[in-house]
A and B are shown apart, each in its own frame.
Chain A
Amino acid sequence: MSATQNVDYQKKELPKKFQTVGTVLFVIGLIGVIAAYLTDGSRSAFNNIIMLMFLTSIGLGSLFLVSVEFVAGAVWSTPFRRIPEFLSSILLVLPIVVVPLLFKLGDIFHWMHPEVVEADKILTGKAPYLNVDFFIIRVIVFILLWIIFYYFITKNSKKQDTTFDQSLTKRNIKLSAAFIPVFGITISFTAFDWLMSLEPHWFSTIFGVYYFSGSILAAFAAVTLIVVWLNENGYLVKGLTKDHYYSLGAFMFAFTNFWAYIAFSQFLLIWYANLPEETFWFLQRWEGSWIYFSIGLIFVRFVIPYVGLISQPSKMDPKRLIIMSVWLLFAHWYDLYWLAMPNYSKEGVLFSWIELTFPLMAVGIVILLLVQLSKKNNLVPIGDPKLKRGIDFRL
């Protein structure tokens, strides 16, 4: 029994201002979103998809990080595993974020119109997969599966805070091992469903991996941002070191490279083969002002974080980590916008208050969830048998 783990953790309330900021952002965002839907329904729906995919990235990606820690028996991340656990609670709000989209499906996906599909050989061929009923079933089943895993994994973890029961770790290892393949399959098909099928004639088999790489990067960025801030302000267990920071920074750096690797692989193969049915997707993103946006993607998502995180000290500097993780979260939104928006606005980049309200609401949701959860729970899994070893982790 490790009930006697002598770790130095005193639970502190988060400052009130978080609640206020979260509420304000959420309310402004919500009003904005409603106004946006009233002004321009289909444009808002596209923004809504981006928001949905952004929240899915962080929620599902965080749950993946938690389960990888269990399966791999990793200790370095145990002291702050609660943070990805909190973040995966985002999965609970996905059903609400999806709802407005269900009314706009026809505006978003042109394969949802039977007369279009009938006149189109390719879409007819894809109809066994791309049809409204199956699509809705997938959306519901996937979200349900995620929430079930979220519920059990975090429940076990929280229970350990009071019972100190080591067998809960065992149980979570099994759950995580079951979750990881489910995660792999569902995240790929989610990417196909919501993002790739916006352009149903186009296909890229690496697309699921593309979304995966960005998602894990976004999840790491969110975790890093919160962990570094909380730790610098003394909300976490005492004894976290630069080695923990370094590991988080190294993961952000690694996944930045991984994203670039995958994104470039996708581009290179399509560029080389030069098949019109594949290249047109990139050509669309090379038209009008999209060309600047596409070139910008390389810098926003790869060059800047790469340079910003390459040196060893930069991965240990709390300020740099916070800046880079905020930047990477922005970059993820930018990437999702690049994936989705050209299907709505073929002429060029669109930007106005509509595009702003959705991120505001998303950030508001996440802050409120975190504040809520941190009231009821410890910010550190104090009952976890790996906790002490996690604090002692050195590179």
Chain B
Amino acid sequence: MSEKILYSYTGIFDTPDEIIHAAEKASEYGFKNYDVHTPYPLHGMNKAMKLPPSKLGYVALVVGLSGALAALLLMFWMSAVDYPIVIGGKPFFSFPAYVPVMFEVTVLSASIATVLTMLFIFFKLPNNAHPLNDTLYMKKVSSDKYGISIQAEDNKFNEADVRRFLEDCDAKEITAVYYDKEEINYKHKILEPKFIGFLLFTALLTSGVTYFTLNKLLYMPPFDWMMEQNKLNPQATSTVFDDGFGMRKPVEGTIARGFTPYSFSGQPEAAEVNLVNPLPVSKSVLELGQQKYDTFCSPCHGYYGEGDSRLRGQFPNPPSLHSEKIRTWKDGRIFHVITDGQNIMPSYSSQLTVNEIWAIVHYTRVLQRALNAKESDLQ
């Protein structure tokens, strides 16, 4: 057993008024290291103890503003720099849309920081070894009494004086509180090497486990069974075929279901001569053509085929479909361009069925005719 050291003198009061008066007297007397304990917060205590305004507000202010700034930069980076996507026709950097997020992050970061700062920095928690713990005094003031504790380290502390002071205040149960020297620790508990080590260990553990799970574990059996199926993925090497290609051409003389072969690939002139539009010019065909044209062709060629692309220069503007050249092309030639592509214009044969392509061809004629009407149309 080590020697006992005096921590403080404590006194108990029955009513909130008494404790407020006692606190007023204590601050007037000039005590600095004293504290009051009440079962619930008492209005007016700050003033009675002459406490300066709390500095906690500054934590909230600084962290809150940093949170707002961080949110702003984050969203600016994501939506205007790193991955710009047009959303709802708004500019990439659209401040009004960021405000709610900035607001939320401000509140969130400020409140979390305030609570953590209060608990760990201001209150110096966790503090299991506090001398007042496990005393009768603490039991009482945490249920229905009000207490004051004047610490021995105060400059004005003097056992006889303090005892007299507490008696003058009409305190009951004036007792001295002692502690063992090795038990007390005034340092911030969170700065202890053990605690910091624990934090580091937890951080390493969680990131290590996460890394291992996502990068290793999921590639081990049985977790990889979904991924490793008994089939060949595109582009993968085959061990079955001699040439080692996993992707095979259809067997000679066969065609896949639902696939219509195109025999004029790379031969626009032949297509023009040999292909005839099988569809009648009817309202439903033209409507189908319009619908498909608006979906697949208008982004580049414009709704009226004038080459006014909507892609804002992300793809070269195509020539007008109203040129003399195209107007005199036979249907088969336009069919060929759509099916086979032409220079940088890609083929649309995988998106459109043969009938849809012919419908589009009819519809292009409608567009052309609208700009270059025949004499008879005008009568």
Contacts and interface: CB of A to CB of B under 8 A. Distances in A.
Interface string A38-62: 0000000000000000000000000
A272 B87 CA distance: 10
A395 interface: yes
B96 A313 contact: no
A255 B349 CA distance: 62
B172 interface: no
Contacts of A274: 88-89
Contacts, number: 22
B99 A272 contact: no
B89 A394 contact: no
A394 B47 contact: yes
Nearest to B42: A394
Given A274-B88, A394-B43, A268 B53 contact: no
A312 B57 contact: yes
Contacts of B89: 274
Contacts of B44: 394-395
A203 interface: no
Contact of B100 (A268, A313, A394): A268
A267 B57 contact: no
Interface string A256-295: 0000000010011001101000000000000000000000
Main secondary structure of the interface of B (DSSP, over half): helix
A312 B97 CA distance: 31
Nearest to A316: B53
B47 A267 contact: no
Contact of A271 (B43, B57, B96): B96
Contacts of A394: 43-44, 47
A268 B96 contact: yes
B174 to A, nearest CB: 28
B215 to A, nearest CB: 40
Taking each of A268, A271, A313, A394, which has the highest tally of chain B beta carbons within 10 Å of its own beta carbon? A394
B88 A264 contact: no
Interface in B68-125: 88-89, 96-97, 99-100
Nearest to A241: B47
Contacts of A264: 99
B53 A395 contact: no
A297 to B, nearest CB: 15
B88 A272 contact: yes
A395 B97 CA distance: 38
Contacts of B88: 272, 274
Contacts of B47: 394
Given A274-B88, A312-B57, A313-B53, A267 B96 contact: yes
A395 B43 contact: yes
A274 B44 CA distance: 52
Interface in A341-395: 393-395
Contacts of A393: 43
A272 B43 contact: no
Interface of B: 43-44, 47, 53, 57, 88-89, 96-97, 99-100
5 contacts: A268-B100, A272-B96, A274-B89, A311-B57, A394-B44
Given A264-B99, A393-B43, A394-B43, 8 more contacts: A268-B96, A268-B100, A272-B88, A272-B97, A274-B88, A311-B57, A313-B53, A394-B44
